[in-house]
Structure formats: structure tokens, C-alpha cells
Amino acid sequence: MEFGTVFVALFTIATAVAILVRWLKIPYTVALVATGLILGTTQSLQPPHLSKELLYSLFLPGLLYEAAFHLEFKDFWKNKIAIHALAIPGVVVAIALTAIILTPIVNALSL
């Protein structure tokens, strides 16, 4: 199948799943994962190659918009201390580990 045809088919299937889960009263993500497993097992659609450009330009904006749209600000504000307590040290540790791991590699490559 052609690249555009596969995407239209996948979005059509995702739309059908969204309509079906409202009728069945099950979580959308669970039904979408189950549908993906079924499609992957039966190999009914050849998946397109997932490139960085495709991920950043097509999938990530939709996922971020959906997450922000359904964010309950009251719950976010109620849990702000826990969020900051986990996010700030996590970012600091990630920065430190990146520096520790990449510094010897960059020094070795620059010689």
C-alpha cells in the first residue's frame, strides 16, 4: 500500500475505534492498543517507517494538544508540590548523567 493510503486507513480505524468505545464504555487507549495488537499480529497493514520528522510534525502535536485539552487544572494545582518534587530532581539528574556520559566521548572524538 502507498504511504498516504496507509495513514488514511490507520486514521479511519482509529476513528472507528473511538466511536466503538463510546458505545462499549471502555477506555479509548485500551481499545486502541488492542486494535494495534490485532493489526500487527494479522499484518493486515504494512506500517510506514517512523521517522523523526514524521513523529515531531504529525504525532507529537496531536498528543500534546489532547493531553493539554483534557488536563484538569484543579488536579494539577492540587498536586503541584509532588510534580515539582519529582520533575526538578529528575531534570537535574538527567542533565548530570548526560554530562557525565557524553564528556569522555566528546573529548575522545576531539583528539
Question: pLDDT tens, 16-60?
Answer: 999 999 998 888 889 999 998 998 889 888 877 778 888 888 888
Asked whether residue 64 falls in the same domain as residue 104, the answer is no
For residue 70, give the C-alpha cell.
483534557
User: What is the count of structural domains for the chain?
Assistant: 2
- Average per-residue pLDDT for the chain: 88
pLDDT at 98: 96
Other Cβ atoms less than 10 A from the Cβ of 41: the count is 8
Asked whether residue 60 falls in the same domain as residue 41, the answer is yes
pTM of the predicted structure, to 2 decimals? 0.51
Asked whether residue 58 falls in the same domain as residue 87, the answer is no
Can you give the residue range of the structural domain that contains 98? 72-111
